[in-house]
Amino acid sequence: MLRALQYRNYRLFFGGQIVSLVGTWITTTATSWLVYRLTGSALESAVVQYEQARRLFPETYPEVLRLHLPPYVKIVLSNEFPRSHIVTHFSRTGGVYFGPFRSRAFAERFEARFLDLFQMRRCQEDLVPAPDHPGCIYGEMAMCLRPCQQVVGPAEYAAEVDRVIDFLRTGGRSLVDSITRSRDHLSQDMLFEEAARQHKRLEKVLEVLKLRDEMVCEVDRLHGVAVTRSVAPESVELWFLREGHWQEPQRFSFEVREGRPLSLDKQLRETFATVALRKLTVRDRQEYLAVLSRWYYSSWCDGEWLPIETWDDPPYRKLVNAISRVALRL
């Protein structure tokens, strides 16, 4: 009977550089052997380990890998009066996801702080609005529009939710730009006290935005590329994320033709042109994001992550610099 007894990730020197070895110890009643694969980085090891564990242990691989899904802030749109809450799993019901966050504590802190900037409700109940609803402390403090007491209707409340989603989708720019314009106009009109209040509000918004990491974004607009070492000489590995979906990695080599190196910018443009969007299932999507975020937030992150604001306009110069920095470590 064939069994996979152990699945481990090791690191060793190979070809003058540190590489990783991912292997499975296989045993039968007669003999044992080791099936292994050399990898160039901790991220590649984590991806290979995840994919092979799913194949070898289809029922128990999350426990084998200790795969913990990262937290997200979800705006629940399936409710007539949307609200936010912290989740670790994606669902097919209506909602907008923002993350992944380093930990649940970071997600909860960010959620609490950005909600202070708006008047979206914080209660988790399915509202049945009525004039005699008891309400809550946030309504009394003018930090909620109080739809529970029918102070506003669904349309007015939806407009506030749209402001929240716009704030999250733009990385806070929608609110920062609005406050900045208001402050500048007040200053020009010599209404300095009001301008000072707007400046204080702007500082509060900027403090909230500092609670996000570079990877935190609306999942459907989460684009980026991780740059890591490669086992191949004079090469790096590019790990693409597009619309929150894990794509096939690309090996990027520093080619020399006729004694002259090729333009990195030109090679990158050609590489990006070959990355076709691959849509994953809900489970695959959240698990690959878990593997990536664990690497990114870990102390053993051995590459660089470059977020991409829009896939149609990648920051090629920044990516060239990132590749150059990783290449210097080879």
pTM, two decimal places: 0.86
**pLDDT score for 79:** 86
**Residues 204 and 299 reside in one and the same domain:** no
pLDDT at 3: 43
Which among 216, 247, 282 is the end of a domain? 216
- C-alpha to C-alpha distance for 191 and 193, rounded to whole angstroms: 6
Residue 77 shares a structural domain with residue 141: yes
Specify the pLDDT at position 64: 86
Q: 282 and 199, same structural domain?
A: no
Q: Are residues 40 and 75 in the same domain?
A: no
Whole-number pLDDT of residue 122: 93
Question: Which residue range(s) make up the domain with 34?
Answer: 3-65
Same domain? 307 vs 258: yes
Q: What is the pLDDT of residue 209?
A: 93
Residues 233 and 315 in one domain: yes
Residue at which a domain ends, from 162, 185, 216: 216
Token pair 């990898």 in the structure block, residue: 39
Judge if 292 and 231 occupy the same domain: yes
Q: Which residues of the chain have pLDDT under 50?
A: 1-7, 10-19
CA-to-CA distance for 9 and 26, rounded, in angstroms? 15
DSSP state of 71: P
Q: Are 88 and 72 in contact (CB under 8 A)?
A: yes
| 206 lies in the same domain as 222 | no
Which pLDDT value is given to residue 18? 45
Residues 234 and 293 in one domain: yes
Domain count, the chain: 4
In eight-state DSSP terms, residue 81 is S
Closest CA to 102 of 86, 120, 123: 86
Instruction: Say what the pLDDT of residue 183 is.
Output: 94
Are 231 and 309 members of one domain? yes
